[in-house]
């Protein structure tokens, strides 16, 4: 990936993420953060914009600033309709630059198709969309937060995400625990 060699941004989307899906993710992140000019540039690099915002979630803005300034790279990959990804998942990786340097990275796998199948009222769907899924995985990387390990709990990660939801008046998640179905 050329962005690693050029010293570009630390949050990027892979080439396999269509323009439409990039726009969808950026639009959801703009709604959450209140940053009207947040976007992915032509090279797939997340650009936060430069404006201050009095709307949106300050905690979400802080998380994205930490992500783009991190020593780690976060790479968004389209995992739509993959059976090993339910909504989103993050996996560790390493990239080698042309000069042989190994860079620590995390791949955020997003199943955009899963988010299109959600049913519920508008507020509930607004509090769980591709933007929230992405932020959840970024929180794992940036804050080294953990998910709940037993039923009835939220875990550190969803507690952080709930703060963001609260800041913009969305419904809060009361439980985050999953088991794989086969």
Q: How confident is the model over 35-80, as pLDDT tens digits?
A: 999 999 999 999 997 777 778 999 999 999 999 998 889 999 999 8
Q: Are 3 and 12 in contact (CB under 8 A)?
A: yes
The Cα 93–Cα 103 span in angstroms is: 9
Label residue 15 by pLDDT band (50, 70, 90).
Answer: very high
Closest to 164 in 3D by CA, of 72, 37, 28 = 28
Q: How far apart are CA 135 and CA 149, in angstroms?
A: 20
pTM for the model stands at 0.86
Residues 6+ apart with CB under 8 A from 102: 94, 95, 96
Kindly report the number of other CB atoms within 10 A of residue 146's CB atom.
11
Q: What is the DSSP-derived secondary structure letter of residue 171? A: P
């Amino acid at each position: 990936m050329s962005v690693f060699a050029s010293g570009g941004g630390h949050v990027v989307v892979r080439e396999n993420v269509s323009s439409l899906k990039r726009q969808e993710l950026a639009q959801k992140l703009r709604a959450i953060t209140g940053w009207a000019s947040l976007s992915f540039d032509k090279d797939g690099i997340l650009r936060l914009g430069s404006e201050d915002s009095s709307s949106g979630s300050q905690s979400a803005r802080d998380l994205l600033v930490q992500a783009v300034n991190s020593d780690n790279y976060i790479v968004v990959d389209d995992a739509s309709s993959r059976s090993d990804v339910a909504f989103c998942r993050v996996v560790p990786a390493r990239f080698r630059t042309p000069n042989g340097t190994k860079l620590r990275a995390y791949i955020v796998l997003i199943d955009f198709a899963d988010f299109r199948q959600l049913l519920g009222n508008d507020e509930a769907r607004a509090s769980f969309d591709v933007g929230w899924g992405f932020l959840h995985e970024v929180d794992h990387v940036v804050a080294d937060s953990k998910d709940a390990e037993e039923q009835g709990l939220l875990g550190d990660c969803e507690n952080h995400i709930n703060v963001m939801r609260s800041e913009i008046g969305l419904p809060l998640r009361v439980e985050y625990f999953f088991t794989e179905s086969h």
